[in-house]
């Protein structure tokens, strides 16, 4: 067994596919398959079950996967520590981003790494905040952004940005009867309309994410406290798909202004901040509480904080970069 074989195996296991892993690693798929097969032969265990949709881990494969992730992290940390002694952040880092903000930050993050951290390798994965919590605690992700996270003994949390949740609706064409003609919000193209008291939200057919989503959990909690029965017309996991459905007239959504800005369809939408009560959505930066931050992690954390604070929507939370 060698580190290269272990790295190949971990990538195949994470992606669930030899073809996707080969593309990511930039090697031929037959060569990748030979390396994983050699690992199985040496260990005398079947590690992956191959099927028409990809691969799944066997029980032995799951155990090796957990060891492999830990071993590769230790090797990466050793490299980073050596490079850190020369004040040169090196190594590989994985950052988890929620879909609502991933589109806005991916390009600036890559640009920032190219300019400031040319010797470092960056991977960006998208997922719901609940998934990113799991990925950080298991070591798959080094740091990430979370919306409204609960306190967790294995996470260090730092607030970066606070936004109000808004009712998102299809904009009326300019000049049509009833068009508000309000000024556009800074940095966005969506119409700004009068705030909406939470008690009136029950009048609108809503397109919401499933209950696992942090915005849905926050909304369900506040509606229950107010004695409201929400009209949930559709449950859709993808924020992009929710916005498409709102634009098509299938209902209304409850999202942040930054989610509208990131959709690329802001000029087709109108936003109404929810009030009485206002529902804040707090974006936090999360890192593992169990691992000492490497020079690369510290640099990436600083860069990510700067980029989040430069976003046009929202109000910066009262926290200082560290």
Per-residue pLDDT reduced to its tens digit, 84-95:
555 567 788 999
Spatial distance between the Cα atoms of 239 and 256, rounded to a whole number of angstroms: 11
- Taking 50 as the threshold, does the pLDDT of residue 59 lie above it? yes
- Taking 50 as the threshold, does the pLDDT of residue 47 lie above it? yes
Closest C-alpha to 260, from 284, 242, 234, 279: 242
Question: According to the model, what pLDDT value does residue 185 have?
Answer: 39
Is beta strand 143-147 parallel, antiparallel or unpaired with respect to 91-97?
Answer: parallel
Q: Is the CB of residue 42 less than 8 Å from the CB of residue 64? A: no
- Residue 178 is encoded by which pair of tokens? 């009833």
- Residue 226 is encoded by which pair of tokens? 């107010």
Question: 257 burial class (0-12, 13-18, 19+ CB within 10 angstroms)?
Answer: buried
Q: Is the CB of residue 276 less than 8 Å from the CB of residue 198? A: yes
- Taking 90 as the threshold, does the pLDDT of residue 257 lie above it? no
**Mean pLDDT computed over 167-194:** 56
Q: What is the per-residue pLDDT across 278-322, written as a single tens digit (0 to 9) for each?
A: 888 888 999 988 877 888 888 999 999 999 888 765 433 434 333
Q: Does domain 1-86 have CATH number 1.10.10.10?
A: yes
Whether the pTM exceeds 0.75: the reply is: no
**Ordered strands of the 155-164 beta sheet:** 120-126, 91-97, 143-147, 280-288, 155-164, 315-316
| H-helix or E-strand spanning residue 270 | strand 269-275
- Taking 70 as the threshold, does the pLDDT of residue 50 lie above it? yes
The full set of domain ranges for the chain reads 1-86, 88-162+282-322, 166-278
CATH classification code of 166-278: 3.40.190.10
Helical segments of 160-238, H only: 214-225
- Taking 80 as the threshold, does the pLDDT of residue 231 lie above it? yes
| H-helix or E-strand spanning residue 29 | helix 29-43
- Residue 92: partners with Cβ closer than 8 Å, 6 or more residues away: 76, 120, 121, 122, 123
Q: Is the CB of residue 171 less than 8 Å from the CB of residue 191? A: yes
The residues pairing with 57 across neighbouring beta strands, listed in sequence order, are 48
CATH assignment of 88-162+282-322, among 2.60.40.420, 3.40.190.10, 3.40.50.11890, 3.40.50.1820: 3.40.190.10
- Taking 70 as the threshold, does the pLDDT of residue 214 lie above it? yes
Closest C-alpha to 200, from 230, 222, 179: 230
**Mean pLDDT computed over 60-72:** 90
Spatial distance between the Cα atoms of 136 and 145, rounded to a whole number of angstroms: 10
Q: Do domains 1-86 and 166-278 have the same CATH topology?
A: no
Query: Average pLDDT, whole number, for the chain?
Result: 83
């Amino acid at each position: 067994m060698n580190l290269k074989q272990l790295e190949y195996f971990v990538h195949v296991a994470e992606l669930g596919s030899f073809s996707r892993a080969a593309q990511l690693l930039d090697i031929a798929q037959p060569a990748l398959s030979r390396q994983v097969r050699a690992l199985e032969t040496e260990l005398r265990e079947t590690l992956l079950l191959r099927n028409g949709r990809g691969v799944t881990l066997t029980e032995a494969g799951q155990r090796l996967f957990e060891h492999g992730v830990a071993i590769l992290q230790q090797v990466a940390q050793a490299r980073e520590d050596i490079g850190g002694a020369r004040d040169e952040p090196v190594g590989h880092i994985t950052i988890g981003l929620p879909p609502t903000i991933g589109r806005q930050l991916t390009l600036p993050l890559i640009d920032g790494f190219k300019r400031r951290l040319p010797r470092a390798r960056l991977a960006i994965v998208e997922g719901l905040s609940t998934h990113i919590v799991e990925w950080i605690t298991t070591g798959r992700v080094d740091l990430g952004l979370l919306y409204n996270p609960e306190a967790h003994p294995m996470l260090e949390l730092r607030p970066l940005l606070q936004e109000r949740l808004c009712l998102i609706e299809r904009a009326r064409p300019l000049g049509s009867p009833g068009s508000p003609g309000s000024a556009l919000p800074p940095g966005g193209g969506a119409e700004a309309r009068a705030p909406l008291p939470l008690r009136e939200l029950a009048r609108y057919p809503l397109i919401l994410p499933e209950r696992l989503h942090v915005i849905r959990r926050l909304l369900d909690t506040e509606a229950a406290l107010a004695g409201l029965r929400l009209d949930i017309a559709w449950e859709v996991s993808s924020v992009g798909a929710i916005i498409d459905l709102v634009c098509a007239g299938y209902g209304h959504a409850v999202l942040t202004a930054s989610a509208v800005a990131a959709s690329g369809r802001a000029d087709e939408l109108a936003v109404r901040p929810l009030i009485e009560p206002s529902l804040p959505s707090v974006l936090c930066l999360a890192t593992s509480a169990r691992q000492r931050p490497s020079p690369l992690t510290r640099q990436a954390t600083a860069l990510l904080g700067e980029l989040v604070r430069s976003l046009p929507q929202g109000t910066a939370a009262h926290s200082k970069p560290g």
